[in-house]
Amino acid sequence: MKINFKKINLKLQRRQLLLFILLFTVSLFCVFLAYNKVNPTYKIGEVVYTRDIFGRTIAAERLLKKDLSSNTTLTPTPEDYSQTISNWEIVDNSQSPPLPTGLYFYQESPGYSDVIKWGDYLIGFTKDRYIAESTGGCFGGCSPSLQSTIRHIRILNIKTGEVYSISLQKPTWGEIDMVYPQLIENTYFLKVGSYGPRNAGFEYRLKLPPTRTSKIEKLQKPIGTIIYQFGNYYLTASCYEGCYYQRVETTTLKASELKRLNEASNQYIDTRPEKLLGFTKNGEMVLEVSTTKETIAVSLLDEKTVRKFDGNKNELLPSDANNSSESIQKQFEALGLDNKYVLVERVTKYPTNKAK
């Protein structure tokens, strides 16, 4: 019996080819199904939904219809849009149509201005909101909540009218309640956090003047919740049920502990020999000696150089180094812009239910 190996080999090759084609077709079908399951964004009506890599809907955002000549109000659809957020945008009203600057007052940081003026520049930040599952611990599961993404610093050159954004080196997002800027001479600092200004440290730094190619540095670790500058160093404080102080070099951000200051500021030790009263504009801590009730000023550089403090309040720094205003209107007026710039309210409504 003679076996034709050539024919057998040809049949095997054909079967392998058919099997390959079948597997390839099945794979394409599976990829198609998977893509439709985890498609990052999809649109239903005028609402854009976003999924994570596991196919769970994590965001629902209604598309903006820009009407620059009047307020922009987004009307709810069958979704339960029960969260309404109002922001105020600075608009150049001398243009036709009026030109939005992308600089907003977000009304979420009472006593703090979201837009800061430095020379001929206005500096703000952009906050994009979305609906997502809460990241905190929840009993019985977490309900969707309104969260935020901070990706850019927004710049307006008042002199030239140029407007542009500078991207953060590392964007931040999540359950962000408040964003706080602080201007220290030629440096713009930004901190992002929750539950008030003293619960987050400054973690972004932008050297001024700003340009389109400027870099916003993400610090290796936050340098404090409050910053004062004295010459070539910062006095920083990390405050939560008490404050911890450090002296930080302005260029390297190298930190040194201020032992005497921290002992004097510790309100949980009633028997401490000295009590902190404040700081002078010359870089001194003002202390009250517990035994004699004498008031002294001690240098922050060495914590040893001492002089008697005569109680002159003009020497003292304000209790908080951050810029403040009582209302958004006063914050806007404090910028000293000419009449061509106006505030326009932008109203956005967000769904509280999870998108299906």
328 lies in some domain: yes
Averaged pLDDT, 93-107: 87
Using CA atoms, how far apart are residues 275 and 255, in angstroms rounded to an integer? 23
Task: Please name every residue paired with 227 in a beta bridge, in sequence order, or none if there are none.
Answer: 236
Averaged pLDDT, 15-38: 73
pLDDT of residue 166: 94
Q: Is 17 helix (H, G, I), strand (E, B) or coil?
A: helix
Check whether 262 has a pLDDT greater than 80.
yes
Averaged pLDDT, 92-114: 81
Check whether 34 has a pLDDT greater than 80.
no
Please answer whether residues 167 and 152 qualify as being in contact, where contact means their C-beta atoms are separated by less than 8 angstroms: yes
Considering only 35-39, 115-119, 340-344, which range has the smallest mean pLDDT?
Answer: 35-39
317 lies in some domain: no
Check whether 35 has a pLDDT greater than 70.
no
pLDDT of residue 331: 85
Strand 57-62, strand 72-73: pairing? unpaired
Check whether 60 has a pLDDT greater than 60.
no
Report for 27-41, 215-229, 319-333: range of highest mean pLDDT: 215-229
pTM: 0.68
Using CA atoms, how far apart are residues 184 and 204, in angstroms rounded to an integer? 13
Residues in the chain: 356
Domain residues for 101?
77-222+324-356
304 lies in some domain: no
156 lies in some domain: yes
Average pLDDT over all residues of the chain: 77
User: How many domains does the chain divide into?
Assistant: 1
354 lies in some domain: yes
Check whether 123 has a pLDDT greater than 90.
yes
Check whether 184 has a pLDDT greater than 60.
yes
pLDDT-based confidence at residue 111 (cuts at 50, 70, 90): low
Considering only 63-77, 108-122, 249-263, 287-301, which range has the smallest mean pLDDT?
Answer: 63-77
137 lies in some domain: yes
Would you say the C-alpha torsion 316, 317, 319, 324 has a positive or negative sign? Answer: positive
Check whether 231 has a pLDDT greater than 60.
yes
351 lies in some domain: yes
Interacting residues of 330 by C-beta distance below 8 A, sequence separation 6+:
none
pLDDT of residue 62: 45
Calculate the alpha carbon distances from 278 to 107, 209, 269, 343 in Å.
30, 32, 18, 37
Long-range contacts from 183-189, C-beta under 8 angstroms, 24+ separation:
183/116, 183/118, 183/123, 183/323, 184/227, 184/229, 184/234, 184/321, 185/229, 187/250, 188/116, 188/118, 188/123, 188/153, 189/227
pLDDT of residue 68: 40
pLDDT-based confidence at residue 38 (cuts at 50, 70, 90): low
CB atoms within 10 A of CB 230: 19
pLDDT in tens, 289-311: 999 999 999 999 999 999 999 88
pLDDT of residue 211: 93
Please answer whether residues 279 and 286 qualify as being in contact, where contact means their C-beta atoms are separated by less than 8 angstroms: yes
187 lies in some domain: yes
Percent over 70 (pLDDT), the chain:
67
pLDDT in tens, 134-163: 555 555 556 667 777 888 899 999 999 899
